[in-house]
Amino acid sequence: MKYQQLTKEQLKEFHEEFAVFLASQQITKDEWEEIKTNRPEIAEEELNLFSDVVWQKVLDNVYYLEHFSQKTLNLFKCLDDNIQRIVVEVDKVDFDFLDTDNFNWFLDQSKDPSISYFRGQKAYSNERNLELFDLIQKGSVISKGELFNAVEKLL
């Protein structure tokens, strides 16, 4: 397995796609029920394969990630051959990017001297989608890139 098996909740979201996936392998609904009951290891393999297909498709379409922590904001632009990163740090007592009021202060006061910006980029050291998946596993969320692009304009 390349990524991670989808959760039961995620599989419910992809119910129709999973049915098409099974049909593409010529597995009927009755056969699937029989496989789940009598050959759980085969069922597990099918779920793993389907999960990898879903993750691959999702990750192929990821272009921005964001990771918020108390004092640091990490913004990523995920290109085909490299990843760009902007790090925003706030040196203020009791500041917390996870707090709405603090985050709004940052948006309004983006040139305040207590805010530091760092920029960099690197080529992927592994397969692109594996690195993006790792960032998601570590708490990053997929975004549309508005925040990355706004901060990039500041720089």
Would you call 148 helix, strand, or coil by DSSP? helix
Q: Which amino acid is residue 62, in one-letter code?
A: V
Q: What are phi and psi of 151, to 5 degrees?
A: -70, -40
> Binning pLDDT at 50, 70 and 90, where does residue 124 land?
very high
pLDDT digits (tens, 9 = 90+) for 61-113: 999 999 999 999 999 999 999 999 999 999 999 999 999 999 999 999 999 99
- Predicted pLDDT at 112: 94
Nearest to 81 by CA among 124, 142, 136: 124
Q: Domain limits of the chain?
A: 8-60, 64-154
Region 2-9: mean pLDDT is 94
- Predicted pLDDT at 98: 95
pLDDT digits (tens, 9 = 90+) for 20-37: 999 998 999 999 999 999
CB atoms within 10 A of CB 74: 19
- Predicted pLDDT at 104: 95
- Predicted pLDDT at 69: 94
Return d(Cα 128, Cα 114) in angstroms, integer: 34
